[in-house]
A and B are shown apart, each in its own frame.
Chain A
Amino acid sequence: QLQLQESGPGLVKSSETLSLTCTVSGGSISSSTYYWACIRQPPGKGLEWIGTIYYSGSTYYNPSLKSRVTISVDTSKNQFSLKLSSVTAADTAVYYCARAGGHNSVIGGAFDIWGQGTMVTVSS
Protein backbone atom coordinates (compact mmCIF):
# COMPACT_ATOMS: atom_id res chain seq x y z
CA GLN A 1 0.00 0.00 0.00
CA LEU A 2 1.55 3.26 -1.14
CA GLN A 3 2.25 5.82 1.55
CA LEU A 4 3.62 9.35 1.64
CA GLN A 5 5.62 10.88 4.49
CA GLU A 6 6.55 14.51 4.85
CA SER A 7 9.71 15.57 6.65
CA GLY A 8 11.38 18.86 7.33
CA PRO A 9 11.93 21.61 9.91
CA GLY A 10 8.85 22.62 11.85
CA LEU A 11 10.15 26.15 12.33
CA VAL A 12 11.54 28.48 9.67
CA LYS A 13 12.66 32.07 10.11
CA SER A 14 11.02 34.84 8.16
CA SER A 15 12.74 35.64 4.82
CA GLU A 16 14.45 32.23 4.75
CA THR A 17 13.66 29.17 2.62
CA LEU A 18 11.23 26.47 3.69
CA SER A 19 12.34 22.98 2.68
CA LEU A 20 10.16 19.89 2.75
CA THR A 21 10.85 16.34 1.58
CA CYS A 22 8.17 13.82 0.67
CA THR A 23 9.14 10.16 0.73
CA VAL A 24 7.10 7.63 -1.22
CA SER A 25 6.98 4.08 0.15
CA GLY A 26 5.15 0.97 -1.03
CA GLY A 27 5.33 2.05 -4.67
CA SER A 28 7.48 3.79 -7.24
CA ILE A 29 7.61 7.52 -7.79
CA SER A 30 8.55 6.71 -11.39
CA SER A 31 5.06 5.52 -12.27
CA SER A 32 3.89 6.95 -15.60
CA THR A 33 0.31 7.13 -14.31
CA TYR A 34 0.72 9.62 -11.50
CA TYR A 35 2.02 13.03 -10.55
CA TRP A 36 3.24 14.14 -7.12
CA ALA A 37 1.95 17.23 -5.41
CA CYS A 38 2.50 19.65 -2.53
CA ILE A 39 -0.57 21.20 -0.89
CA ARG A 40 -0.83 23.42 2.18
CA GLN A 41 -3.46 24.53 4.66
CA PRO A 42 -2.99 27.58 6.90
CA PRO A 43 -4.48 27.20 10.40
CA GLY A 44 -8.27 27.41 10.23
CA LYS A 45 -8.27 27.97 6.48
CA GLY A 46 -8.78 25.98 3.29
CA LEU A 47 -6.54 23.89 1.08
CA GLU A 48 -4.13 25.53 -1.35
CA TRP A 49 -2.41 23.68 -4.18
CA ILE A 50 1.29 24.64 -4.32
CA GLY A 51 2.61 22.61 -7.21
CA THR A 52 2.94 19.24 -8.92
CA ILE A 53 5.82 17.29 -10.44
CA TYR A 54 6.08 14.31 -12.77
CA TYR A 55 8.84 11.74 -12.34
CA SER A 56 10.51 13.10 -15.47
CA GLY A 57 10.92 16.46 -13.73
CA SER A 58 8.12 18.37 -15.44
CA THR A 59 6.59 20.84 -13.00
CA TYR A 60 3.38 22.82 -12.62
CA TYR A 61 3.09 25.62 -10.07
CA ASN A 62 0.34 27.72 -8.54
CA PRO A 63 0.64 31.06 -10.34
CA SER A 64 0.33 32.93 -7.04
CA LEU A 65 3.41 31.14 -5.63
CA LYS A 66 5.37 30.42 -8.80
CA SER A 67 8.08 33.03 -8.22
CA ARG A 68 9.02 31.46 -4.87
CA VAL A 69 8.46 27.73 -5.43
CA THR A 70 10.73 24.97 -6.66
CA ILE A 71 9.69 21.31 -6.65
CA SER A 72 12.23 18.66 -7.59
CA VAL A 73 12.28 14.86 -7.77
CA ASP A 74 14.90 12.26 -6.85
CA THR A 75 13.81 8.96 -8.36
CA SER A 76 16.78 7.10 -6.85
CA LYS A 77 15.50 7.94 -3.36
CA ASN A 78 11.79 7.76 -4.27
CA GLN A 79 11.43 11.30 -2.99
CA PHE A 80 10.29 14.71 -4.14
CA SER A 81 11.06 18.01 -2.46
CA LEU A 82 9.57 21.46 -2.02
CA LYS A 83 11.48 24.69 -1.56
CA LEU A 84 9.60 27.90 -0.82
CA SER A 85 11.78 30.99 -0.62
CA SER A 86 11.39 34.32 1.17
CA VAL A 87 8.79 32.99 3.59
CA THR A 88 6.59 35.19 5.75
CA ALA A 89 4.05 34.50 8.48
CA ALA A 90 1.47 33.95 5.72
CA ASP A 91 3.33 30.75 4.79
CA THR A 92 2.63 29.20 8.18
CA ALA A 93 0.57 26.11 7.42
CA VAL A 94 0.25 22.36 7.47
CA TYR A 95 2.07 21.12 4.38
CA TYR A 96 0.87 17.94 2.68
CA CYS A 97 2.33 15.68 0.05
CA ALA A 98 -0.12 13.88 -2.19
CA ARG A 99 -0.35 11.62 -5.23
CA ALA A 100 -2.24 13.06 -8.17
CA GLY A 101 -3.77 11.20 -11.06
CA GLY A 102 -2.16 11.70 -14.45
CA HIS A 103 -3.47 11.83 -17.99
CA ASN A 104 -4.41 8.17 -18.23
CA SER A 105 -5.30 7.67 -14.61
CA VAL A 106 -8.63 6.14 -13.68
CA ILE A 107 -9.01 8.80 -11.00
CA GLY A 108 -8.41 11.70 -13.36
CA GLY A 109 -6.80 14.72 -11.71
CA ALA A 110 -7.67 13.76 -8.14
CA PHE A 111 -5.34 13.61 -5.17
CA ASP A 112 -6.01 10.06 -4.04
CA ILE A 113 -3.29 9.43 -1.46
CA TRP A 114 -2.11 12.00 1.09
CA GLY A 115 0.62 12.15 3.67
CA GLN A 116 -0.33 12.94 7.26
CA GLY A 117 0.92 16.51 6.87
CA THR A 118 3.55 18.48 8.73
CA MET A 119 3.09 21.81 10.48
CA VAL A 120 5.54 24.51 9.48
CA THR A 121 5.63 27.76 11.44
CA VAL A 122 7.36 30.86 10.16
CA SER A 123 8.83 32.90 12.99
CA SER A 124 10.02 36.47 12.97
Chain B
Amino acid sequence: SYELTQPPSVSVSPGQTARITCSADALPKQYAYWYQQKPGQAPVLVIYKDSERPSGIPERFSGSSSGTTVTLTISGVQAEDEADYYCQSADSSGTWVFGGGTKLTVL
Protein backbone atom coordinates (compact mmCIF):
# COMPACT_ATOMS: atom_id res chain seq x y z
CA SER B 1 0.00 0.00 0.00
CA TYR B 2 0.98 3.61 -0.55
CA GLU B 3 2.72 5.24 2.44
CA LEU B 4 3.68 8.81 3.27
CA THR B 5 6.39 9.53 5.86
CA GLN B 6 6.67 12.80 7.81
CA PRO B 7 8.97 13.82 10.69
CA PRO B 8 7.05 13.72 13.99
CA SER B 9 8.08 17.23 14.98
CA VAL B 10 9.65 20.43 13.72
CA SER B 11 10.58 23.43 15.87
CA VAL B 12 11.28 26.95 14.68
CA SER B 13 11.57 30.44 16.17
CA PRO B 14 9.14 33.18 15.16
CA GLY B 15 10.11 34.86 11.89
CA GLN B 16 12.20 31.89 10.77
CA THR B 17 11.37 29.43 7.99
CA ALA B 18 9.84 26.05 8.76
CA ARG B 19 10.15 23.16 6.33
CA ILE B 20 8.13 19.98 6.73
CA THR B 21 8.87 17.06 4.44
CA CYS B 22 6.71 14.20 3.24
CA SER B 23 8.23 11.22 1.46
CA ALA B 24 6.24 8.82 -0.67
CA ASP B 25 7.25 5.21 -1.17
CA ALA B 26 5.74 4.87 -4.64
CA LEU B 27 6.74 5.97 -8.11
CA PRO B 28 5.53 7.87 -9.98
CA LYS B 29 4.59 10.26 -7.22
CA GLN B 30 1.03 11.45 -7.18
CA TYR B 31 0.06 14.98 -6.28
CA ALA B 32 0.40 15.87 -2.61
CA TYR B 33 -1.81 18.00 -0.40
CA TRP B 34 -1.17 19.65 2.97
CA TYR B 35 -3.50 20.32 5.89
CA GLN B 36 -3.14 22.41 9.03
CA GLN B 37 -4.95 21.21 12.15
CA LYS B 38 -5.17 23.18 15.36
CA PRO B 39 -6.33 21.57 18.63
CA GLY B 40 -10.04 20.79 18.68
CA GLN B 41 -10.54 21.89 15.08
CA ALA B 42 -11.05 20.16 11.76
CA PRO B 43 -8.13 20.15 9.33
CA VAL B 44 -7.80 23.01 6.85
CA LEU B 45 -6.37 22.57 3.35
CA VAL B 46 -3.34 24.86 2.92
CA ILE B 47 -1.68 23.44 -0.23
CA TYR B 48 -3.11 21.38 -3.11
CA LYS B 49 -1.47 19.76 -6.13
CA ASP B 50 1.99 20.02 -4.56
CA SER B 51 2.28 23.81 -4.68
CA GLU B 52 -1.07 25.53 -5.21
CA ARG B 53 -2.51 27.66 -2.43
CA PRO B 54 -6.29 27.87 -1.82
CA SER B 55 -7.82 31.30 -1.54
CA GLY B 56 -7.56 32.71 1.96
CA ILE B 57 -4.34 30.89 2.82
CA PRO B 58 -1.48 33.32 3.60
CA GLU B 59 1.32 33.64 1.04
CA ARG B 60 3.87 32.50 3.62
CA PHE B 61 2.62 28.96 3.01
CA SER B 62 4.16 27.30 -0.04
CA GLY B 63 4.75 23.81 -1.34
CA SER B 64 7.32 22.16 -3.55
CA SER B 65 8.13 18.74 -4.95
CA SER B 66 11.33 16.89 -5.81
CA GLY B 67 11.29 13.26 -6.82
CA THR B 68 9.15 11.40 -4.31
CA THR B 69 9.46 14.05 -1.59
CA VAL B 70 7.22 17.06 -1.14
CA THR B 71 7.90 19.93 1.22
CA LEU B 72 5.66 22.40 2.96
CA THR B 73 7.47 25.66 3.64
CA ILE B 74 6.21 28.31 6.01
CA SER B 75 8.18 31.52 5.65
CA GLY B 76 8.24 34.05 8.46
CA VAL B 77 6.57 31.68 10.90
CA GLN B 78 4.08 33.25 13.27
CA ALA B 79 2.88 31.98 16.63
CA GLU B 80 -0.53 31.23 15.07
CA ASP B 81 1.12 28.71 12.74
CA GLU B 82 1.77 26.32 15.63
CA ALA B 83 -0.30 23.28 14.71
CA ASP B 84 -0.19 19.75 13.37
CA TYR B 85 0.44 19.44 9.64
CA TYR B 86 -0.54 16.44 7.53
CA CYS B 87 0.39 15.55 4.00
CA GLN B 88 -1.99 13.49 1.90
CA SER B 89 -2.07 11.88 -1.51
CA ALA B 90 -4.26 9.61 -3.60
CA ASP B 91 -3.05 6.80 -5.82
CA SER B 92 -4.44 5.85 -9.20
CA SER B 93 -6.48 2.94 -7.80
CA GLY B 94 -8.70 5.22 -5.74
CA THR B 95 -6.95 5.01 -2.40
CA TRP B 96 -6.41 8.14 -0.38
CA VAL B 97 -3.67 8.19 2.27
CA PHE B 98 -2.40 10.56 4.96
CA GLY B 99 1.05 10.96 6.38
CA GLY B 100 1.50 10.48 10.11
CA GLY B 101 1.52 14.20 10.83
CA THR B 102 4.12 16.70 12.00
CA LYS B 103 3.77 18.86 15.09
CA LEU B 104 5.11 22.33 14.39
CA THR B 105 6.27 24.11 17.52
CA VAL B 106 6.96 27.84 17.43
CA LEU B 107 9.58 28.49 20.10
Residues of A near any B CB (own CB < 8 A): 37, 46-49, 52, 60, 62-63, 96, 100-101, 107-112, 114-117
Contacts and interface: CB of A to CB of B under 8 A. Distances in A.
Contacts of B97: 49
Contact of B98 (A49, A60, A115): A49
A111 B100 contact: no
Contact of A63 (B1, B86, B88): B1
Contacts of A109: 30-31, 33, 88-90, 96
Contacts of B86: 46-47
B76 interface: no
Contacts of B54: 107, 112
14 contacts: A46-B98, A46-B101, A47-B37, A47-B43, A47-B86, A47-B98, A62-B95, A107-B52, A108-B48, A109-B33, A110-B48, A111-B35, A114-B44, A115-B42
Contacts, number: 68
Interface in B32-69: 33, 35, 37, 42-45, 48-49, 52, 54
Nearest to A116: B42
Nearest to A62: B95
A71 to B, nearest CB: 13
Interface of B: 1, 30-31, 33, 35, 37, 42-45, 48-49, 52, 54, 86, 88-90, 94-101
A110 B96 CA distance: 9
B91 to A, nearest CB: 9
Given A107-B52, A110-B45, 18 more contacts: A37-B96, A46-B100, A47-B88, A49-B95, A52-B94, A52-B96, A60-B95, A62-B95, A63-B1, A107-B45, A107-B49, A107-B54, A108-B48, A109-B30, A110-B33, A110-B48, A111-B45, A116-B42
